Homo-oligomer: A and B are copies of this chain.
Amino acid sequence: MSETIKYVLDETQIPRFWYNIVADLPRPPEPVLHPATHQPIGPADLEPLFPMALIQQEVSAERSIEIPEPVRDVYRQWRPSPLYRARRLERALDTPARIYYKYEGVSPAGSHKPNTAVAQAFYNKQEGVRRLTTETGAGQWGSALAYAGAIFGLEVKVFMVRVSFDQKPYRKALMEVWGAQCVASPSTETNAGRQILAASPDSTGSLGIAISEAVEVAAQHADTKYALGSVLNHVLLHQTVIGQEALAQFELANDYPDIVIGCTGGGSNFAGIAFPFIGAALRGERKVRVIACEPAACPTLTRGRYAYDFGDTAHLTPLVKMHTLGSTFIPPGFHAGGLRYHGMAPLVSLVQELGLIESRAYTQTACFEAGVQFARAEGILPAPEATHAVRGAIDEALRCKKEGVSRAILFNLCGHGHFDMQAYIDFLAGKLEDRHYDEAELAKSLAALPAA
C-alpha cells in the first residue's frame, strides 16, 4: 500500500462560495457595539476602516457568499491545497487512528492567511483604496497582506509586535521584498504607540497594541483602510475555503472525520477548517467533535470570560462579545506569536458557548515536541502556531491507541515554520521554556472588562 496519500482536487473544485456559518447557527451573533455609546453600530460606523463589500459580509446572514472571480484566480496559484493522510506519523505513534491534515503552507506566504488577504486586497482595490494598514504577530498575516498588496498594487504598512519583530527579522525582510513597510509596535508613529511607550518603554508589544496603531493610521487617512487578519466574521468567512475543500477531499478518501482540530489565536484558521464541518452537523448531515487548541500562556477559550470587550488595547475598535482575557492583558512572549491575542473571534466564541466545540490549552514545549515528531515522520516543518494543532491530533491519536479504537482525525496544518527556526533551535538545544502569565494581572485585566 502507498505510504504517501494525497487527496488532490483540480482547480475547478476551488470553492465558488464562502460558507457563512451564521445561517446555520441556532441563534444570531450578538451585535457589535460602538466604543463610545455602547449602542449597536451600523455599516456607516465601520466605513472609515473597511470597504463596504467587507462590511456587508461582516453583517451578512446569507449561507453562501460568492467568491469574486479575480480572487479565485489568485487562489489558483496554490489552491486547492492538498489533504494528506499522515501514514508515517500513524506508524510512528503505533495508533489505529486515521490521521489527516490539510496543508495550508503551500501558499506563497506559507500559511492560510492569503485566503483572506487576497480577498481583502481585492475589495479594497475595487473601492479605490490606495493603502492598507495592519498588525501582525509572528508575521504570517503581515507577509500575507504584503503578498496580496503586491498582487493588487496596494501599499501595505504593517505594525509588527515588538517581541516577534526582534525574534523574526526575516519575516520583516519577506514583507519588504514584496514591497510592504514593516515597523515594530509599539512605535512612535501613533498616539497609541507613544502612550504605551511612555508608560512602558521596554514594552514587548501585543496584537492588541498593534491593532490600535494600525486602526489609528487608517482612521486618519482617507486613502487608507485597515485590514485585520483574524477575529472578524468576514475574515473567518474567507477561510472557509479550507474546510469546504476538506469536505470534498474526504469524499475522495471515502472517509469522514470523527474529530476536527485547529489551533486558535484569533480563530481564523480554526474556523476555516471547522465551520464547514460544524455547519454540516448543524444541518443534520453528520456529527463531528471539534477541538480548539490554544497556548497555555494566552488561554482565551479555556480561561477567558465571554463578555463584551475591545479588540485592541487603546480602545479604538468597537466592542464585540467574545472570550477574552481583557484588552489590557499582555501575554508573555512566546514563539507562537500568531496566537498571542487577548480575545477570540466572536463566532468561535459563540460556537463554544453553544457547546459545538471543545477547547484545550497546551504549553509551548509540548507543542514543539509534537512539531519535531511530525516533521521527522511527515517531512513538513510546522509553524509554531500549527504545532498546537499537531499536539492536539497526536494526543487524540494516542487516545485511540489506548482505547483500541480507530477514529479519523483531521487537523489544519495552517502554515510552515521556515521563518520560525530560532524557536526550533531553542527547542533542540533544550533552551525553550514554558512561559506563564501572571494570575494577578489576568484577574486585574478581567476585572477591567467594560460593562456593556
Q: Which residues of A contact B (CB under 8 A)?
A: 2-4, 6, 8, 10-11, 70, 73-74, 76-77, 84, 88, 106, 108, 110, 147, 150-151, 169-170, 173-174, 176-179, 372, 375-377, 379-381, 418-419, 421-422, 424-425, 428
Contact = CB atoms under 8 A, between A and B. Distances in A.
Contact of A379 (B10, B77, B422): B77
A76 B428 contact: no
B4 A77 contact: yes
A2 B180 CA distance: 25
B428 A176 contact: yes
A138 to B, nearest CB: 14
Contacts of A428: 173, 176-177
A336 B174 CA distance: 18
Copies of this chain, tallied across the complex: 2
Contacts of A424: 173-174, 176-177
A10 B11 contact: no
Given A108-B379, A108-B380, A173-B425, A74 B4 contact: yes
Contacts of A177: 372, 375-376, 381, 424, 428
A88 B77 CA distance: 12
A429 to B, nearest CB: 10
A93 to B, nearest CB: 16
A177 B74 CA distance: 33
Contacts of A173: 421-422, 424-425, 428
A6 B11 contact: yes
Contacts of A147: 379
27 contacts: A2-B73, A2-B76, A3-B74, A6-B77, A10-B10, A77-B379, A88-B151, A108-B381, A110-B418, A150-B375, A150-B376, A150-B379, A169-B421, A170-B170, A170-B418, A170-B422, A170-B425, A173-B422, A173-B425, A174-B418, A174-B421, A176-B428, A177-B372, A177-B424, A177-B428, A178-B375, A179-B376
Contact of A76 (B4, B169, B178): B4
A179 B377 CA distance: 11
A381 B418 CA distance: 13
A6 B108 contact: no
Contacts of A174: 381, 418, 421, 424
